[in-house]
Amino acid sequence: MHAILELAQRKTVIFDGAMGTMLMAAGLKAGESPELWNIEKPSFVTDIHRKYYEAGSDVVHTNTFGGNIIKLADRGLSDKMENINVEAAKLAREACPTGKFVAGDIGPTGKLIKPLGDLVVEEAEEAFFRQAQALIRGGVDIISIETMFSLEEALAALHAAKRVGEVPVISALTFNRTKKGFFTIMGEGVTQAVAAFEKAGADVIATNCSLGSRDMADLTKELRAATRKPILIQPNAGKPVTQKGVTAYQQTPAEFAQDGKEIKNSGADMIGGCCGTNPEFIRALAEAMGNLP
């Protein structure tokens, strides 16, 4: 069994929090490519990884959320795809203490698959395949597919990562809460998604973003009822509040950590943070789980 999955049998594995907001705090401007910093300002990226490990993360994500070639092409960076992903993996590896881990982050293409959009599913899978290859070449321990709003796109990424092989794959889908339960914006439900992920060979079933930690505890129960695989939950820091066009997350680290306990008790094996979280949230979470950094 892979060391991360083994660790999950002994304790709640702590992941990291948001990367984008940390980069913005370090000077990343709106419209600038966060992934380009892996090449142009590597020390800032390594610094953020270190802060998360120091706060108690067992696993951090590489700075490659928008690192697939389709997304990078929007910024004219497709020729840098391999370099960006290999370097990102090396930066996280550099910051990673002995006994801790690096997850290669794969996010969505930002395009809709046919017939809703123009993207051909095979093209998406090829983009994810090449990204996963580069991340693994750079030395990641596990691939983490996240913030997928469509089951079809999530499966394209999962198939690609499993085809590369070599490391386990975390497969996440993003759900919204409706009166009828939890669904993706495409209308896919929890049991349908979990069954598809298991069939495609996901090693960890996950969800992240969109929901705050309260709702995530309920979603965790549904996921736990649908699978015996390890589960990773990465909530936002509560519900976003938009004031004068600016979105802010108002939950405190202590509240987040309190909900973290409920998420753990609802069946999560691994917990991290999404939008609005930072190393203080991860520190509070790690302490609440009884994991001292």
Residue 253 CB, nearest approach to Zn ion (Å): 16
Residue 210 CB, nearest approach to Zn ion (Å): 7
If the CB atoms of residues 158 and 275 are measured against Zn ion, the closer one turns out to be: 275
223, two tokens: 């996921």
Residue 150 CB, nearest approach to Zn ion (Å): 16
If the CB atoms of residues 119 and 275 are measured against Zn ion, the closer one turns out to be: 275
If the CB atoms of residues 42 and 240 are measured against Zn ion, the closer one turns out to be: 240
What count of other Cβ atoms lies within 10 Å of the Cβ of residue 240?
Answer: 15
If the CB atoms of residues 56 and 107 are measured against Zn ion, the closer one turns out to be: 107
If the CB atoms of residues 172 and 275 are measured against Zn ion, the closer one turns out to be: 275
Residue 101 CB, nearest approach to Zn ion (Å): 21
Residue 98 CB, nearest approach to Zn ion (Å): 30
| Binding-site ranges for Zn ion (CB under 5 A) | 209, 274-275
Residue 114 CB, nearest approach to Zn ion (Å): 26
| Contact in structure between 107 and 68 (CB atoms under 8 Å) | yes
User: How distant, in Å, are the alpha carbons of 67, 108, 227, 234 from that of 211?
Assistant: 24, 18, 20, 9
If the CB atoms of residues 2 and 239 are measured against Zn ion, the closer one turns out to be: 239
